[in-house]
A and B are shown apart, each in its own frame.
Chain A
Amino acid sequence: MTAKVIRKPTFRKDESEDDKELQVELKVLVERITGEDPKLIPSSIEMLKYLIRTATTSMTSVPKPLKYLGPFYGHLREKCDAMSEGTIKKNLSDVVSVLSMGAIETEVKKGYDCLKYCLQGTMQNIGDWGHEYIRQLETEIVKQWVMCDNNFKTLHPLVKEIMTFNCSHHDEIQGCDLLMEINQMYMLFDYVTKDNYKPICLYLAACAKYVDELESKKILKLISQFYMMFGEYCRSIIVAIQINDAKLVDKLFNTCKDKVILYQMAFICARHLYPFELSVEDDDIKSILENSHLSHHFLTFARELDIMEPKAPDEVYKTWLEPTNLRQSVLGEKLDSARQNLASSFVNGFVNAGFGTDKLLTTEDGNKWIYRNKDIGMLSATAALGLLYLWDVDGGLTPIDKYLYTTDENIKAGALLALGIVNCRIRNDCDPALALLGDYVESSSEELQLGAVFGIGLAYAGSGRSDVLSLLLPVIQESKLVKTLGVASLACGLVALGRNNSEVSDVVLSKMIESNGLEVLKSPFMMLAGFGVALAYFGCKDDIEVPTTVAEVFEEPFKTMFQTMLQMCAYAGSGDVLIIQELLRLVEEKVEPPEEGAEKEEAAKGKEKKKYEWDYYMGKAIAVLAVAAISKGEDIGTEMIQRIFGQISRYGEPSVRKAVPLAIALTSISDPQPNVINVLTKYSHDVDDDVACNAIFGLGYIGAGTNNARLAVTLRQLALYHAKNPFQLFMVRISQGLVHMGKGTMTLNPLHTDRQLVDPVAMAGILIPLVALLKPHSLILGRSHYLLYSLAAAMQPRWLLTLDENLNSTSVTVRVGQAVDTVGKAGDPKTIAGIHTHTTPVLLCANERAELANGEYEVVAPALDGICVLKKIPC
């Protein structure tokens, strides 16, 4: 009876004879299936299946049988529904399921017919129906998954079937998508093989950036495990470090048996300053993890490049190129500009950092130079010794030691800070920094305490050691001066970096709450104290809820300021788009400073000028910095926000504008792109002195350690332009020093190991001066210039050093070029462009990558940068 309804196929004129034949045949089959004769039905179904499967198709058109069967879909479905359970029904279900793809009626889509009938069907060889069918099934599975509860049991076998199909057809990516959608990632374990783990891992890693926190952690963990399964320990450890999974890292060290790979993993951890104690016994690996090799390797590297000759600040400024009225040649032994000498002290430290020699301090009359600085300036001048002997714990402590015997508190404090700086990023069994500085932490002298506390903070940055913290926390509790509180809090923040250590935040916050509502809360050091707490939550992402709630008790604008700082640290380097948007909204929002308070304050100001004023836009200024800090490490986001910054600086309030050059500098640290140089040069002539000052500093940041000639010229011109303004000139000098940091062999970039990891200690090190520069005149340009030494935490050689299996440095030929995703001919892909050939050790610029030029060695690290251990390929 149903047969009557079936219309005769209408032939269109342009259809070929074959098509007509097919149509007739199909019609006959459908009629048979829907017909009454049960004998004919199974064979007809088989026939129909055969026709559909064998139909070839092009990309653009629907397979012919499907197309012609479209009109019969309804009938077939009805028939199928009406059938009693059995093989025939199952077979027919398969056909209906396939045909549902071609159906036009919307209810078919709504009813998930494809999936429904597929499940009713045989569930065998579903791949035979082709990719398109699988796609359709996947879509419907994803949609269904969320709706039903007991779907796991019913759908799981089908998912498995689909995955098998995907993996055997080079379609793992599609499979990953499906599993990600239905949150069954662990299933991937059954499907990764030696051949396909690479693309799967790459794809998942790329996806992880765009999903929420929990999900991405899960994905990354999976990737790490996959890499481990296939012996890619180095890649695995990179991912494990990304998700901060201590157990996994430890497991990797214990499972890996290959010495060279173990060394390489240790070098990656050491570069990242991976803080957790690892249960490794090997002395070599231990010493790598302690970073004790750094000084030795750096000096070898310097000798190789023939740059051991110390450089005086004047050689950095190239004073002979400056017109003479700037040079002030009259200033001799007895008459000095304290500010310029202070700048020279810093420059001297930065430029000769790690080399152990210079032309001011380590010379015979080095002491004289220290005395050519003024009070607290002597602290910074002495502390520059720390930079000179940076990383050299063995050789650097003794020359600093003698300064501990002076009577001058500032010099002594500087020596303490220097001892701390020497130990920065290095771990030593004997803990000299703790042993030496520990005694001074409780000192009654303000300077000595300051030097010791900040020194300890730098020496144990990122270590999270509780014994160090228990030494510092009492200082905070007993602090009488807001300055001590600020610096001690920073030190605690550095030590407990990212440990989510509630003790630190409790102690600092309770101290801060004590001063809530008082004048002292307005002090810039209170901002630093808050930043110290924020550092303790570095990279903790959503864990900042507790301190954020606590922050509610603070009065505005401190509340916003503090909460934004927490966000900045918690998400720094994560590239989290949602947080960036939230912060940008904060920047856009209008802040109304309360009116009535203003007048009163005006009156008070007349009496006492030293009192600090609230800056109601400070929260927004920090938000600007935060945007830059968070987007760091995610290229697209970084590029986008650079444009937004232009907008902010055009329409922002003065204090927000101050933050803009700093934020721009942060996005491109140690990477002097011409366009960034141009933007910052423009700001460096700004009418607002603070903006100009920060832009000049920003120029130093973006060129840090690059010896960039263009920046050097720009800065020389700025020195001329700002010759009359001592503060600006000071900044120009500092920036010149930064650009020539380590004579051009260093970087401040926290991204390392092929830009995959963000070094939290380095990030903290570069953020501290930036936050301090939001109030330049009360901190860096005032009496707290020593905060600049926090950069020591971020300083690293920008080298490619190759070691052989016995950890001796070897020279190999490498090709160095711009890092790109892939270029080159098909089949011969390359990841670098614009190749130069060098012999290691070589300097690498930001965004540069290297590869081995000849096949003599094999590299175990995923990317050639930093220190790489090479394996000789047996010929």
Chain B
Amino acid sequence: MPQFKVKVKWGKESYPDIEVNTDEPPMLFKAQLFALTGVQPERQKVMIKGVTLKDVDWDNFKLKDGVTVLLMGSKEEDVPKEPVEKTVFVEDMNESELATALDLPAGLTNLGNTCYMNATVQCLKSVPELREALQTYQGEVTDAGGVIPAQSITAALRDLYSTMDKGNNVPPIVLLQMLHMAFPRFAEKNEHGGFAQQDANECWTELVRMLQQRLPAKLGSGSSQEQFKSLIDQYFGGTFDVELKCTETEDEPVTKNKEQFLQLSCFISQDVRYMHSGLRSKMQEQITKKSSILDRDAVYIKTSKISRLPAYLTIQFVRFYYKEKESINAKILKDVKFPMEFDAYDLCTPELQEKLAPVRAKFKELEDAQVEAAAKDKNKSQGDGKTTDVEKKYSPYWFQDDLGSNNSGYYTLQAVLTHRGRSSSSGHYVGWVRHTNDRWIKCDDDNISQVTTDDILKLSGGGDWHCAYVLLYGPRMLEISNVDTEEKMATD
């Protein structure tokens, strides 16, 4: 008798008393099951005692009354498809591909105690305007007999940056040679015959000085521009308004003059715990000099106020002092905290402060808006995240009439040069460069790795760990507020 009653089990469900007629093709049974379960017949697997039902006949399928038949198959049509974009595996890549994929900058090979230069080069590389200017620079590296060190160094730096952009670790041979040629003191050898360690800040200032001579200022759109000879002055140079006032006589008029600077120095004394106070201490100091009126040495108070803030503010920690006894540059290990966001407002002249005010107000506004948006966002559901890819727009950070200046007084830390060791001519220099918001890159010669903001803040000194020596602050960008960007900030 070809008529059977079976029990069909499908997943957790079971359908008792299904009638099967083995005279009819199995497809009919499958159609019957389709009606019950909704599983397409071609995706049905009907099993009994270790065999599956064939589509054509019942030959191998031994049915009995009351047996349990297992049905397997899913209703959904979806077949796992390969994603369009293939996953790239780290294991398949070579070193340079990996670096590009990870978006890590190239490292610089240490050519024998040249970490001071490597670190400097890496830090300066974080200034986009400088990179741009270098790219347009036409000069060539002059040969051995080269008389023009400034040109050679500028060209060498340009070439070095462009090779580094290709992603591989680079030995900065040419630049080093040029540097040695221009400044023979850097070529000094130690007792083992290798190059001796040098002071990175010295290297920094010399490099910047060389660039200063060669890179022309960028022309802004504004008409009434202050004229700068060089890009370096434009973007790195600031101006102090210096007042000199004699304390011992009221007769002598206050002398006022302007001073240019490329670096601010943060002096470290007993009571300096924060960078800000270190900077302030230098801004007002007492000096003794000969007074023309009194015709003797008198004490003067020298007050410096910044009247122009450059886009890129270099701050040097005066950590090294010359110890005569041991004739070395000894280091102050003291912990001096520096902020990720630096506000130079109270170092400025009142006039400048006034000029800064409007942009500062905008910053304040934006912050308030963000806080509000964040609060709102807690109630609302999250944005669909599509807006995240929208390019952020920033308003210019410079004054209309002064390209390369800072119009808010707000700065963001963008590179740190650290030193580890006990004197400037020993130890190890490392450059730390901000990559994106919270990601930093540690450029330890050819060893490039990722670190976080927390790690950067740990560089404030106070121990034998790397401690910050030169800081490079860039301008804090003001986002142009529109709906998209606000939402973006909120979803972040």
Contacts and interface: CB of A to CB of B under 8 A. Distances in A.
B80 A401 contact: no
A330 B52 contact: no
Contacts of A406: 79-81
B477 to A, nearest CB: 23
B89 A431 contact: no
A333 B84 CA distance: 12
A399 B74 contact: yes
A439 B102 contact: no
Contact of A405 (B43, B82, B85): B43
A435 B80 contact: no
B392 interface: no
B23 interface: no
B31 interface: no
B147 interface: no
Contacts of B22: none
Give the secondary structure class of A's interface: helix
Contacts of B102: 330, 335
Interface stretch (A4-12, A106-114, A390-398): A390-398
A394 B14 CA distance: 10
Contacts, number: 118
B459 to A, nearest CB: 15
A335 to B, nearest CB: 5
B50 interface: yes
Nearest to B77: A402
B300 to A, nearest CB: 51
Given A330-B450, A331-B90, A395-B11, A431 B50 contact: yes
Interface string B48-86: 111110000000000000001110111010111111011
Contacts of A862: none
A430 interface: yes
B47 interface: yes
B449 A401 contact: no
Interface stretch (A31-39, A336-344, A487-495): A336-344
B488 interface: no
Interface in A616-653: none
B362 interface: no
A336 B103 CA distance: 14
B70 A370 contact: no
A150 interface: no
A14 B264 CA distance: 113
A339 B78 CA distance: 28
Given A402-B78, A430-B9, A431-B50, A337 B72 contact: no
Contact of A438 (B50, B73, B86, B449): B50
B72 A335 contact: no
B164 interface: no
B452 A435 contact: no
A434 interface: yes
A335 B49 contact: no
A434 B90 contact: no
Contacts of B90: 331, 335-338
A347 B83 CA distance: 23
Contact of A330 (B47, B51, B88, B103): B103
Nearest to B454: A324
Interface string A334-374: 11111100000000000000000000000000111011101
B91 interface: yes
A interface, size bucket: 35 or more
B225 to A, nearest CB: 41
Contacts of B43: 401, 405
B402 to A, nearest CB: 38
Nearest to B67: A429
Interface residues of B, number: 42
Given A330-B102, A402-B78, A432 B70 contact: yes
Given A334-B87, A432-B70, A371 B78 contact: no
Nearest to A468: B50
Contacts of A467: 50
A401 B74 contact: yes
A401 B72 contact: yes
A432 B12 contact: no
A405 B79 contact: yes
B91 A338 contact: yes
B82 A408 contact: yes
Contacts of B280: none
Contact of B88 (A334, A367, A438, A439): A334
Given A335-B90, A335-B101, A430-B68, A402 B50 contact: no
Contacts of A329: 439, 450
Nearest to A408: B82
A308 to B, nearest CB: 17
A339 B91 contact: yes
Interface string B82-121: 1101111111100000000111000000000000000000
B45 interface: yes
Give the secondary structure class of B's interface: mixed
A122 B74 CA distance: 86
Given A338-B89, A371-B87, A401-B43, A435 B51 contact: yes
Contacts of A339: 91
B93 to A, nearest CB: 9
B85 A334 contact: yes
Contacts of B88: 334-336
A429 B49 contact: yes
A144 to B, nearest CB: 61
B261 to A, nearest CB: 36
Interface string A380-422: 0000000000000011011101110110100100000000000
A324 B50 contact: no
B50 A374 contact: no
A325 interface: yes
A515 B92 CA distance: 35
A430 B10 CA distance: 12
Nearest to B91: A338
B451 interface: yes
A401 B78 CA distance: 11
A436 B52 contact: yes
A201 B90 CA distance: 62
Interface in A783-837: none
Q: Which of B78, B80, B85 has most A Cβ within 10 Å?
A: B80
Contact of B451 (A325, A394, A435, A438): A325
A757 B452 CA distance: 54
A399 B69 CA distance: 18
Contact of B47 (A367, A402, A403, A435): A435
B82 A394 contact: no
Interface string A49-65: 00000000000000000
Contacts of A395: 11-12
Nearest to B85: A334
25 contacts: A324-B450, A325-B449, A329-B450, A330-B450, A335-B87, A335-B90, A337-B91, A338-B90, A368-B83, A371-B86, A374-B92, A394-B12, A395-B11, A401-B45, A401-B72, A402-B76, A402-B79, A405-B79, A406-B79, A411-B80, A430-B50, A434-B51, A436-B45, A438-B52, A726-B91
Interface of A: 324-325, 329-331, 333-339, 366-368, 370-372, 374, 394-395, 397-399, 401-403, 405-406, 408, 411, 428-432, 434-436, 438-439, 467, 726
Which 3 pairs across A and B sit closest by C-beta, in order of nearness? Answer: A431-B50, A434-B50, A367-B80
